[in-house]
């Protein structure tokens, strides 16, 4: 499996409820460049195709932005779904058949690094699924309401980021099962876990934050290369 056959799915169908802007966060300019385009900038030397699931209001924004760009691979814009999992499943339907590996990356994570991408691609040579993640530096409490029930051994705790990688055939099958059985998974690795695959952890990057709240925007502005 080589990087030449790798397709990126960039889910961009969310409305950014927690962020709270009129235009979804992935379509806002961060230091002068739209957040989702910043993702494509980092991925461009590593992939051979890209699928962007989005919603009716996102489609014209993406198409207008891409008309000014010349990325060296085909970009397919498709309809997303009601959850991130549904959007990724929809994206998988549009992956070119020449692609044998898939990377999925949140469109709201513009500070991804080439190292994270390459680590995923390398992991997919030996694993069916992988996730970039950071080890926990904090003590982790399991609670019910506001009462601590347990302290989790943090040596076993990681914070998942994206990209997350899938071997195409196994990924397609796992997502089909997830949709038909109505699973509610918050990331791609969870879909693969539930489908019975081993998911490898590869090193993430502390700057690879997901823009979720307005506080994250301020952080991203400080971290981005201006
Ligand atoms: N996403 C998607 N389809 C959905 C929901 C989310 O493609 N139905 C995408 C978002 O556009 C984002 C990524 O999944 O790039 C991560 O999701 P999140 O940060 O939760 O974004 P939103 O769902 O837009 O934000 P919120 O949960 O605050 O509404
Ligand atoms: Mg969401």
CATH superfamily of 3-127+163-186: Spore Coat Polysaccharide Biosynthesis Protein SpsA; Chain A (3.90.550.10)
The proportion of the chain whose per-residue pLDDT surpasses 70, expressed as a percent, equals 98
Compute the distance between CA of residue 61 and CA of residue 197 in angstroms, rounded to an integer.
Answer: 36
Ligand number with the minimum distance to the CA of 28: 1
Ligand 1 atom with least separation from CA of 83? 8
User: What confidence tens digit (pLDDT) does each residue in 67-110 have?
Assistant: 999 999 999 999 999 999 999 999 999 999 999 999 999 999 99
Q: Phi and psi at residue 33, in whole multiples of 5°?
A: -135, 135
CB 66 within 8 Å of CB 38: no
Q: Phi and psi at residue 51, in whole multiples of 5°?
A: -120, 130
User: What confidence tens digit (pLDDT) does each residue in 117-170 have?
Assistant: 999 999 999 999 999 999 999 999 999 999 999 999 999 999 999 999 999 999
User: What confidence tens digit (pLDDT) does each residue in 19-56 have?
Assistant: 999 999 999 999 999 999 999 999 999 999 999 999 99
Q: Which of 8, 13, 14, 216 to mutate to test the pocket of ligand 1 (most atoms within 8 A of CB)?
A: 14
Compute the distance between CA of residue 59 and CA of residue 65 in angstroms, rounded to an integer.
Answer: 10
Q: Is 171 in the pocket of ligand 1 (CB under 6 A)?
A: no
How remote is the CA of residue 17 from the centroid of ligand 2, in Å? 7
Residue position matching structure tokens 């056959």: 5
Q: Is 106 in the pocket of ligand 1 (CB under 6 A)?
A: yes
Which residue is closest in CA terms to ligand 1's atom 10?
Answer: 14
Compute the distance between CA of residue 98 and CA of residue 120 in angstroms, rounded to an integer.
Answer: 19
pLDDT of residue 226: 66
Q: Is 84 in the pocket of ligand 1 (CB under 6 A)?
A: yes
SS3 per residue for 10-36: CCECCCCCCCCCCCCHHHCEECCEEHH
Ligand 1 atom with least separation from CA of 15? 24
How remote is the CA of residue 211 from the centroid of ligand 2, in Å? 11
pLDDT band, residue 2 (cuts 50/70/90): very low
| pLDDT tops 50 at residue 1 | no
Which residue is closest in CA terms to ligand 1's atom 19?
Answer: 212
Residue position matching structure tokens 């929809």: 90
Compute the distance between CA of residue 132 and CA of residue 146 in angstroms, rounded to an integer.
Answer: 30
DSSP conformational letter for 186: S
């Amino acid at each position: 499996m080589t990087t030449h056959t790798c397709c990126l799915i960039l889910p961009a169908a969310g409305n950014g409820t927690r962020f709270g802007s009129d235009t979804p966060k992935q379509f806002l300019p961060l230091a002068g460049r739209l957040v989702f385009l910043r993702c494509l900038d980092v991925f461009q030397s590593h992939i051979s195709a890209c699928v962007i699931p989005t919603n009716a209001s996102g489609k014209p924004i993406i198409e207008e932005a891409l008309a000014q760009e010349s990325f060296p691979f085909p970009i397919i814009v498709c309809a997303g779904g009601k959850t991130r999992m549904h959007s990724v499943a929809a994206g998988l339907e549009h992956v070119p058949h020449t692609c044998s590996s898939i990377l999925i990356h949140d469109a709201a994570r513009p500070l991804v690094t080439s190292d994270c991408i390459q680590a995923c691609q390398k992991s997919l040579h030996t694993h069916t699924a992988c996730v970039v993640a950071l080890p926990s530096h904090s003590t982790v409490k399991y609670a019910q309401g506001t009462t601590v029930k347990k302290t989790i051994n943090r040596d076993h705790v990681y914070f998942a980021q994206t990209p997350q990688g899938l071997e195409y055939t196994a990924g397609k099958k796992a997502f089909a099962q997830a949709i038909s059985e109505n699973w509610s998974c918050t990331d791609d690795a969870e879909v693969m876990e539930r489908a019975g695959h081993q998911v490898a952890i590869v090193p993430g990057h502390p700057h690879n934050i997901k823009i979720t709240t307005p506080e994250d925007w301020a952080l991203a502005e400080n971290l981005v290369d201006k």
